[in-house]
């Protein structure tokens, strides 16, 4: 059960207007945001940070950003964020083979070397202790520029916050996220866990 009950989407009108961003991303406003709005300054700051992090200003595609988020959430063990990230990757154009084989990104032909370098960076940066090293850096610089790396780490860091928020809150998961989690991750054992 959730630690804190989400509020109505109409609770804070400024948050509600900002949260329209998630209708494109997920098809619904996440319960995590509805919980954050108990302190509207947090919900508004989070949405604005999310928008800034997910803006495409370089070579990192929207789909890859969401796959980076999935790898980070998988490393952290947050089932809520895993389902949201894979749903957003689908909605932002990740190809079917990548969605179906995200667990095998290191070896599956659906992923190119640049994507593998980005996803390995996500995994290393999401571990405790942090595992980013010279080898990870060298691989990143083969395919990505410094602005791209900043965008990637923005996604990883944003999802570090979300992973802690949603797993600590036991945020109840929305039906759309359950559908995507089951479809793409269920064969690997994904389930709602505490997010009922």
pLDDT score of 128: 94
Residues whose CB falls within 8 Å of the CB of residue 53, separated by 6 or more in sequence, listed in order: 65, 151, 154, 155, 157, 158
Query: With the C-alpha atoms ordered 54, 57, 59, 62, is the resulting torsion angle positive or negative?
Result: positive
Answer yes or no: is pLDDT of 71 > 80: yes
> What's the whole-number average pLDDT of the chain?
96
What pLDDT score does 25 carry?
Answer: 92
Q: Are 45 and 135 in contact (CB under 8 A)?
A: no
Confidence label for 133 from pLDDT (cuts 50, 70 and 90): very high
Contact yes or no for 59/141 (Cβ under 8 A) = no
Residue 145: pLDDT band by 50, 70, 90 thresholds? Answer: very high
* Residue 27 reports pLDDT greater than 90: yes
User: So what's the pLDDT on residue 132?
Assistant: 98
d(CA 19, CA 178): 20
**Percent of the chain with pLDDT strictly greater than 90:** 98
Res 11 pLDDT > 80? yes
Domains located in the chain, CATH noted? 13-188 (1.20.1290.10)
Q: With beta carbons less than 8 A apart as the criterion, state whether 68 and 118 touch.
A: yes
Question: pLDDT (tens digit, 9 = 90+) per residue, 73-116?
Answer: 999 999 999 999 999 999 999 999 999 999 999 999 999 999 99
* pLDDT confidence of residue 85: 98
At 109, list the tokens: 């032909």
pLDDT reported for residue 1: 76
Query: Do residues 136 and 124 touch, judged by C-beta distance below 8 A?
Result: yes
Kindly tell me if the per-residue pLDDT of 26 is higher than 90.
Answer: yes
Contact by Cβ (8 Å): 190, 79: yes
For the entire predicted model, the pTM comes to: 0.96
- CB of 120 closer than 8 Å to CB of 135: no
Give per-residue pLDDT as tens, 46-69. 999 999 999 999 999 999 999 999
**C-alpha–C-alpha distance, residues 16 and 37, integer Å:** 9
């Amino acid at each position: 059960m959730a630690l804190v009950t989400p509020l109505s989407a109409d609770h804070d009108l400024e948050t509600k207007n900002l949260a329209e961003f998630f209708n494109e991303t997920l098809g619904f406003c996440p319960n995590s945001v509805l919980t954050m709005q108990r302190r509207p300054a947090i919900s508004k700051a989070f949405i604005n940070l999310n928008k800034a992090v997910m803006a495409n200003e370089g070579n990192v595609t929207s789909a890859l950003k969401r796959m980076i988020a999935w790898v980070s959430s998988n490393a952290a063990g947050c089932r809520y964020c895993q389902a949201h990230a894979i749903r957003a990757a689908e909605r932002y154009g990740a190809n079917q083979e990548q969605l179906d084989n995200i667990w095998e990104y290191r070896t599956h032909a659906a992923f190119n070397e640049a994507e593998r370098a980005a996803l390995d960076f996500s995994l290393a940066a999401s571990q405790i202790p942090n595992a980013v090293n010279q080898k990870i850096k060298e691989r990143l610089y083969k395919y990505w520029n410094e602005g791209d790396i900043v965008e990637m780490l923005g996604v990883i860091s944003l999802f570090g916050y979300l992973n802690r928020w949603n797993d600590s809150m036991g945020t109840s998961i929305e039906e759309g996220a359950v559908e995507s989690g089951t479809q793409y991750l269920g064969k690997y054992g994904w389930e709602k866990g505490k997010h009922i």
